[in-house]
Amino acid sequence: MPQMFCQVAIHICECFVPYAGKLRRFFLHPAEGRPNVLFLVVDDLRPELGCYGSPVITPNIDQLAIQSIRFTNAHAQQALCAPSRASFLTSRRPDTTKVYDLDTYWRNAGGNFTTLPQYFKENGYFTASMGKVFHNGTASNETDDYPYSWSVPAYHPSTTKYKRKKVCLSPDGTRHEYLLCPVDVSQQPEGTLPDIQLADNAISMIRNMSSGLKSTNASSHLPFFLGLGFYKPHVPFKFPKEFLSLYPIETIKMATNKNLPASLPDVAFETYSSLREREDIAALNLSFPYGPMPDKYHLLIRQHYYAAVSYVDAMIGRVLNALEQSSLADNTIIVLIGDHGWQLGEHSEFAKFSNYALATRVPLLIHVPPLLKTSFYQKKLTTFHFQDVFQNMPQQTEGSGKVSNAFVELVDIFPTIVDLAGLPSVSECPSVSHEIQLCTEGTSLLPLIKPVSAGAESMWKNCTFSQYPRPDIQPKNNTDVPKLKDIRIMGYTLQTKYYRFAEWLGFDTNTSKPDWSNVYARELYDLEKDVEENNNVADEPQYQLIIKNLTKALQKGWRNCKPL
């Protein structure tokens, strides 16, 4: 039997052929009978999906949403790739991981924390990473945290090396590094794009895994944890040009709140530096730091973001269809998230890099497979037929599928997936946990997923916490993504049902602690009157008692908002 497991392991990992020999020992003790996990992370994806009420065409994600729990109020802990991913993959908040920039590796800074895939690996799962799951580079030790988190080295599409290359064709036939970059894929280097390669590789692995499992006894099922990190709609907006035809420019609408709020503190503003460095935007000679962006480009950016989302939807649809065709869908937990949001011209901002809800709020879908031995749902078979985004079909609405409006955070994902898979639950971290490898600063969402817990939301956490660093109170060239050594201010924000409150405080990166007595600025948005967060009322007299109470809540921290 051990020899048979080794053969299956090699077959499963055909796309990781150079590493197949390293897997022999791993597969001697499979975690039999456990569900698989497909973990989908989409870069810079805000809830701009059909299933969230958006006009953006996303039939494949919508199809997943109908068969999932859709969370409408999920927030990232920091609106930047590396800190957010380090946070939700360790279930620790940024002040614990000590990851605030794009260069810090949590094992060197915060502690030797066990990650979500690592925990599954330690419990007998084959774990594999494709694309951008961890933030690639120094933030994951140049290895995507292999071998701690993954059974084999991570797969990166070969075409990612062209991200900052001049591959965007202009009307005069010259090539440039543009923000707006719809392309003829056949004319791109290697004749493909990263997300196409990512989907191809994932499909190959799923098919190989399925055929390998069919060659052995059903009791020898080898469960997998497959992390897929899609690159779009992150800038630049480089995607197959046909997707742009889905969104004629005359149908695109401006953000309803495109102007810079007069009451916004300077420290809270992001300068959309990631756009300014692209040739097409640089040519506009925008005033620094506030712009504004010309209306023409405001519309073009929104159009290209929508097209990039539809492109990723098509790639996700291909992967889900392969999962169904391989007879693996009915025993696979599927989780889809954005790593943080993105502002599409609202408040005159075009990026993440802030504490606005548009920057922290993300889509979160959790699909519980019908063959999982639970009483969560009726055992209805999973169907993931590929949906062609170019076919006219009814658009899914935000009323489709099961919905939770509870406050949830991305740090909740780790303990949730663990509980769904039937692994030993992860305990809550104590107030000081740098020496503790495995614990959570989130809360398992299991009570919200079980339909028998219909009243769970009324007893759930009543707020979420996020934060964002700044180098100075005034916008600078490094305002959006300051390096650790340059961080002097931390903006902490608290989101409740009725208010979003933020304090921008002096911050010591050596201790990862704020100086609560050194307040540079405050923000308060009355969400009953101002759901778009356009009017900062922090200085208005009638709100001072509310600010006093929210300041106390902010200082008490996330534990004070835990479920009852």
| Straight-line distance from the first to the last Cα atom of the chain, in angstroms, rounded to the nearest whole number | 48
- The angle that helices 194-214 and 2-12 make with each other, rounded to 10 degrees, is 160
Alpha-carbon gap, residue 152 to 157, rounded angstroms? 15
For the chain, what percentages of helix, strand and coil (3-state, to nearest 5) are there? 35, 20, 45
DSSP calls for 283-329: TT-PPTTT-PPPHHHHHHHHHHHHHHHHHHHHHHHHHHHHHHHTT-G
* Known active-site residue 298: no
Alpha-carbon gap, residue 206 to 328, rounded angstroms? 8
Is-cis flag, bond preceding 182, omega within 30? no
Alpha-carbon gap, residue 79 to 245, rounded angstroms? 30
DSSP H or E segment with residue 274: helix 273-276
Alpha-carbon gap, residue 197 to 230, rounded angstroms? 10
In degrees and rounded to multiples of 5, residue 237 shows phi and psi of: -80, 75
- Report the 10 Å Cβ neighbour count for 1: 10
Residue of 15, 51, 81, 168 marked active site: 81
> Which residues partner with 40 through β-bridges?
228, 336
Pairing of strands 175-176, 168-169: antiparallel
Polymer length in residues for the chain: 564
- The stretches of 13-160 forming alpha helices (DSSP H) are 59-66, 81-90, 94-97, 106-109, 116-122
Alpha-carbon gap, residue 304 to 284, rounded angstroms? 18
Alpha-carbon gap, residue 320 to 199, rounded angstroms? 10
Asked whether the CA dihedral 509, 511, 512, 518 is positive or negative, the reply is: negative
Residue of 135, 234, 304, 367 marked active site: 135
State whether residue 149 is helix, strand or coil: coil
DSSP calls for 407-445: -EEGGGHHHHHHHHHTPPPPPBP-S--TT-SS-BSS---
Which residues 6+ apart lie within 8 Å of 384 measured at CB?
Answer: 60, 63, 64, 317, 320, 321, 323, 324, 329
* Known active-site residue 463: no
Catalytic residue positions, numbered? 81, 135
